[in-house]
Amino acid sequence: MGWLGGVDRRPALVFSLSGFALASVAAGLASGAAWLIGARLVQGTFGALPFSLVSAIAATAVRPRARGRTMGLITTLGPLGLVRAGAGRAAGRRVGLWIFFINVPVSVVVLAVGLRRHSPTVPFAAPRSRMRASAASRGPQICEAQLIDQSGLMYFERVDGTISTAPPSFLQLTGHPMRWQLLNELTRSDRQVRELAALVDQRQSLVSYHLAQLRAGGLVTMRRSSADKRDAYYSIDLAACRERLAEAGGALHPGLRLVPAEPTPPRHGTERPRARVLFLCTGNSARSQMAEAILQREGGGRVEAVSAGSHPRGLHPLAVSVMRERGIDIGDRRSKHFDEFAGQPFDHVISLCDRVREVCPDFPGRTRVAHWSMPDPAAEAADADDGHAVFARTADELTTRIKFLLHVIENLQTSPEGA
């Protein structure tokens, strides 16, 4: 049964009393200082202290979540401003001496006893002898003294060192419905904020706020568009999501730590039709050529990969060099215009350049069009001290994205919807 109206307000009352006690200490110290320097004492102190206790209890009875400590401070220190000019020096000394040597010790005792009696780890524990007698007379019962008191949780950060008080940050971050929906959209393609706002049917300002939360959590990245610097593209970091998700499972139980899956090779007698993938960029000289070569190697015979550009030019020598270091020779390949593939069906068309996305042609069939907003390594290498490192980073990012793409391709090939 609750206390004061069916609701257990004892935790808030304890803090109301604590606020009263702290305010009394402050009043006593101020009064003692006034006595020591012989100043006139505020006679309203006599009425302030009892009024503080009554008002703090009343506030607790009305609002269990009221900040009793603040109420006690305000109601005690407030009347101290009521100065009575008729208080003489001798009267001020006597009253100040009484408050300093009586009120301060009593307040400290009240505060210490209240906090010790109502420990946050086992809130308001009943005497053990009474608990044992009650349990023996009534049989098996739920011990209310061992339940976590919700009011206590409002004032204390932790309940017990053996209890996990919060889920992993990844689950807190992705558990919001809108943030989960945004991540889901970004797994399909890099997007601008206005596109995401239209997809989730929410205000652009609200979408920007949640994207900022995902960026702060390291799950989403943002880069300015190479076509228009006023625009920005948001990308999901799938590798970071996979790592954080594995950590979240391991935090609950070691056996739940996820292990990244590898695409399964096709079984004999169940040969699947090869997925056709087209990579597009402006010059078809670096990004799209590298992506084509990486997918051909990683996908084996399951994927047919080609590449093209809107304004083709010769292969960049650093692209050839970086791919050769990875065991792939693209030196004999040529750049192609995307008109060469006009009218051909593709399962996936992926643009790697922000400019070519604006002029990407339409393709027949159930083509899944996606955009990977990646900076032009040739442009960055021209301004960098180590152009080779720039192309190496591009190859690494393409490899990561393509490995996740292979999971999508396999899922579509094996699921009824993709068949």
Positions annotated as catalytic residues are 281, 353, 360
* Rounded CA separation 258/366 (Å): 33
204 vs 405: CA distance, rounded Å: 29
d(Cα 408, Cα 275) in Å, to the nearest integer? 11
What is the residue-wise DSSP string for 26-68? Answer: HHHHHHHHHHHHTPPP-TTHHHHHHHHHHHHHHHHHH-TTS-H
Three-state SS at 136? helix
Cα distances (angstroms) measured from residue 226 to each of 280, 282, 295: 15, 11, 24
> Which of 15, 9, 25, 11 is closest to 109 using CA atoms?
25
Residues 6+ apart with CB under 8 A from 146: 122
105 half-sphere exposure, CB direction, 13 A CA radius: 4
C-alpha angle 376-393-377 in degrees, rounded to nearest 5: 15
Q: H-helix or E-strand containing 117?
A: helix 104-117
**Contact predicate 72/52, CB 8 Å:** yes
CA distance 278 to 288: 9
Using an 8 Å Cβ cutoff, are 190 and 235 in contact? yes
Question: Would you say 94 and 102 are in contact if contact means Cβ atoms under 8 Å apart?
Answer: no
Give the SS3 label for residue 349.
strand
Contact predicate 106/35, CB 8 Å: no
CA atoms of 163 and 152, how far apart (whole Å): 15
Return the residue matching tokens 């009043």. 27
The Cα-based distances of 19 to 56, 99, 294, 380 in angstroms read 8, 17, 68, 62
281 neighbors 288 (Cβ within 8 angstroms): yes
